[in-house]
Structure 1
């Protein structure tokens, strides 16, 4: 369902748009106009596509604002992407994670919105053992939190397109079942490990700590930051004292520091995927398969 004000946006990225989108009233309206969803980055795209189900490409389109291979933290919206936000019937995003998306939603969105940060209970990095009061946005590392977002997306799609409300709810139920099984697999898979400490590139995995592991980041809150010599010396001592076998770098971020630490301490280097976005190497994967790959890597590294 396209807003009549979209054509006025052009290159003037964040000019106010005043027209809105009405909910569908019957199946014929929905099939004629379609439902347009803009998802800010990959986990939210995955949720929207799963909730759309068989209607994806047949009445529902999902546009992602963060291109595959792009770093979502650094996203700057193009004029076309601002237009995508403006004309979308539903924007699924996470306030506080991507400022350019927040700005576009505040100024241009004319349809419905789902803010994941208002759906799940985000916690400060401090609760994950990091000396910072900033909020940790990486909630999708907890499958049950992602399931809550899926339920909310289904509710909003049902309001927009009531003729297919039962389909959206059934699809969200199926996704929740998959995510609950994933949660159970993580709980069982990390229950009996020889080691509990995991050295990672940066603090993107804190929500996994509810499964009994402890994350120690090399780079802190930003994948672009640099550790001090004192930080590296502390990590080298940690690797040796804890018997750590693996230092994890991550996709979509530089690997040199993690690989250097692994080399200097004589342990293996491996990759964990923060699942912020797909890349050329993971184009055929999805959230579930990437989370399972991460679980296998953690089990191997920690002797589970």
Structure 2
């Protein structure tokens, strides 16, 4: 039986019409929002939302595509979000981190787009898992040319400041009338990030260990900046289960480097970290990769959470 024949032509036409009206309503709603006179910017996830809000101040309205508590790598855009992108005045994103966003931006036609990966140097970081070197970048979600590059540049305050200067240029190009204000706000943000970098340098100067253990290999840039060594339980994927071989390696590493703490994250399961910590008879604590702010975050914004991360590292590494 041909099921399509059971649907009256008038009903099918009505359904199509309703779909078009819904899409039009999305666009109309986005366009109506622009009557506030602000520059409407879409940021792909929290670290870029924070930067844009700090730099744009009262002149911008920022929409974050990634809801709090959602793993940015796993983001899938709704039809409304995809349609709404074309109404943005500017888009700030990190190419390769969220494939769904990259594809939607290509189709959006927005003139002012900022790929922050081009505003600083990306590097390859990794950890030894089962005798193989695994990179911290999510290779399954990155193009072949980008595979192996670590996307977690925002966890290094120095690189984050470089990104801020690039975002400043994008906002200024999209809204030249407020160029001076954007530059002033950027300078103020860079000063805060410079101060944060100094806090890390001073706070980690006198430590008894250089090695820390995390569930997710997200802290490669931070470790490199401050002369630390990150050992990840699962390497690339924070949700994957480590092998018996990897767990044995971590037992040896923990004893050799006097590891006192196993770190877990706020938006992924802590079970594996807690199991390893129990086996090692050490503590657990949170080291937040800052992919989003939730009610579980130890701070209300990027600076506060990074300061909380510093305190956690100081305790774990015996810094005085």
- 3-state SS of 2:297 partner: coil
- Structure 1 distance, partners of 2:125, 2:84, is 32
Displacement of 1:112 in angstroms is 0.7
Distance 1:74 1:216, change over 3 A: same
Q: Could you tell me which residue of structure 1 aligns to residue 53 of structure 2?
A: 49
Q: Could you tell me which residue of structure 2 aligns to residue 288 of structure 1?
A: 303
Displacement of 1:11 in angstroms is 5.9
**What per-residue deviation string (whole Å, max 9, x for no partner) do you get for residues 243-269 of structure 1?**
111010111111100000000110001
Q: Does 1:145 align with 2:159?
A: yes
- 3-state SS of 2:62 partner: strand
Q: Could you tell me which residue of structure 2 aligns to residue 131 of structure 1?
A: 134
- Structure 2 distance, partners of 1:79, 1:284, is 32
- Structure 1 distance, partners of 2:247, 2:134, is 17
TM-score, structure 1 length as denominator?
Answer: 0.86
- 3-state SS of 2:238 partner: coil
Q: Does 1:224 align with 2:228?
A: no
- Structure 1 distance, partners of 2:152, 2:98, is 12
Q: Could you tell me which residue of structure 2 aligns to residue 272 of structure 1?
A: 287
Contact kept in structure 2, 1:86 and 1:111, CA below 8 Å: no
Q: Could you tell me which residue of structure 2 aligns to residue 192 of structure 1?
A: 206
Distance 1:217 1:143, change over 3 A: same
Contact kept in structure 2, 1:38 and 1:84, CA below 8 Å: no
- Structure 2 distance, partners of 1:284, 1:234, is 33
Q: Does 1:243 align with 2:243?
A: no
Distance 1:237 1:182, change over 3 A: same
Q: Structure 1 residue runs of 4+, over 6 Å off?
A: none
Structure 1 stretches of 5 or more lacking a match? 1-6, 18-29
Q: Does 1:34 align with 2:38?
A: yes
Structure 2 stretches of 5 or more lacking a match? 1-18, 28-33, 136-146
Q: Does 1:101 align with 2:104?
A: no
- 3-state SS of 1:87 partner: coil
Larger-gyration structure (1/2): 2
Q: Does 1:156 align with 2:170?
A: yes
Displacement of 1:106 in angstroms is 0.8
Q: Does 1:213 align with 2:217?
A: no
TM-score, structure 2 length as denominator?
Answer: 0.82
Distance 1:124 1:261, change over 3 A: same
How many aligned residue pairs are there?
A: 278
**What per-residue deviation string (whole Å, max 9, x for no partner) do you get for residues 285-304 of structure 1?**
10000000000000011100
- 3-state SS of 2:286 partner: strand
Q: Could you tell me which residue of structure 2 aligns to residue 252 of structure 1?
A: 267
